[in-house]
Structure 1
């Protein structure tokens, strides 16, 4: 009974998610028409008059720096120092998935689906703002990319839910086996071994 209720809720949630994503796509298309830009081979192209209009709202670098709080300027090196571990994380998980996922038969995570850097095309941003936006896009994208790789790894090796809910589990987590269900886990293990790499916990 409880499983049927959860499955029904899961299907409703899936339908709502699909509807939500369709609405997001529709709104993005409306924004493209409103602000007159298009994507050409992944690159943003604004119409010339729209770029001129945006440029009127750009703040000069000197004014931007002199108008900033001193605390913001002093903490900037702390923020940018994180580029070292971020690049190391990016490189590490990329090497890891290209080696291990191919062995395990797990689909590779497409990095470009998560690391999106395109705000530098906005003419109303000055050079410092563009650099900040590039950095934020990269940092958050790498973390999302690493999370997806970690989630697929967890699904492969230990697809068991935790005893208590986490604040924001990755999307694959809800399909995991129930915490404490030893019979289901062993049945899944045997089924997985017979399948020689075909993975499916449950729908």
Structure 2
């Protein structure tokens, strides 16, 4: 990766930090704290949130019938997701130890905090739990696959990809055989950090 590209990547990272700061400022009117991993709201905020929660009868009346009919299919995906989660755990425990890769922390990708929101009813909280788990699992799997790819095949694709894992920027250019032969060992060492 040349210096100009690395400089642009650093600028993008700086802009991401600025964006996060601006989002935090915009959301500063929402009063909550995180203590020991638990989200806490001020009492008045919780009371206001609960006042804005739809009760289950109203919620079920407003849900389109097709949404209710697809729910069993959607929730059935939890079964293969749990199996996949167990396989990812086994994969890391075995392959990452053999190749001396740094472990990917599952907790960096799995965030379950929507149940603290007083304006969500029980079904909405269950839906949020499902989405948090499933989307977190996919991001976690992508990070595991990305670390593995960094070691075995650190080559960018010819076609532009929609979304990239965090290791993709380190990959070698597509079709650059000289860089591949020169830098493969260096990238393999980097993947073992």
- 2:138 alignment counterpart: 143
- 2:174 alignment counterpart: 179
For residues 112-123 of structure 1, the aligned pairs below 5 Å read: 112-123=107-118
- 2:50 alignment counterpart: 55
Partners of 2:81 and 2:106 lie apart in 1 by: 14
- 1:76 alignment counterpart: 71
TM-aligned CA distance change 1:42 to 1:29, over 3 Å: farther
- 1:27 alignment counterpart: 23
Look up the SS of the partner of 1:27 in the other structure: helix
Confirm whether residue 14 of structure 1 aligns to residue 10 of structure 2: yes
Look up the SS of the partner of 1:45 in the other structure: strand
- 1:87 alignment counterpart: 82
Partners of 1:160 and 1:67 lie apart in 2 by: 49
* TM-score, scaled to structure 1: 0.85
TM-aligned CA distance change 1:109 to 1:183, over 3 Å: same
Give the length in aligned residue pairs. Answer: 191
TM-aligned CA distance change 1:188 to 1:17, over 3 Å: closer
Higher relative contact order (CA 8 A, sep 6+): 2
C-alpha deviation, 1:13, in angstroms = 3.1
C-alpha deviation, 1:25, in angstroms = 4.1
- 2:147 alignment counterpart: 152
2:123 to 114, 121, 128: 128
Gaps of 5+ in 1: none
Look up the SS of the partner of 2:156 in the other structure: coil
Partners of 1:30 and 1:127 lie apart in 2 by: 28
C-alpha deviation, 1:149, in angstroms = 0.5
C-alpha deviation, 1:187, in angstroms = 2.5
C-alpha deviation, 1:184, in angstroms = 2.3
Confirm whether residue 165 of structure 1 aligns to residue 160 of structure 2: yes
**1:94-132, Cα deviation, whole Å (9 max, x unpaired):** 221122112212111111111111001000000000000
* TM-score, scaled to structure 2: 0.89
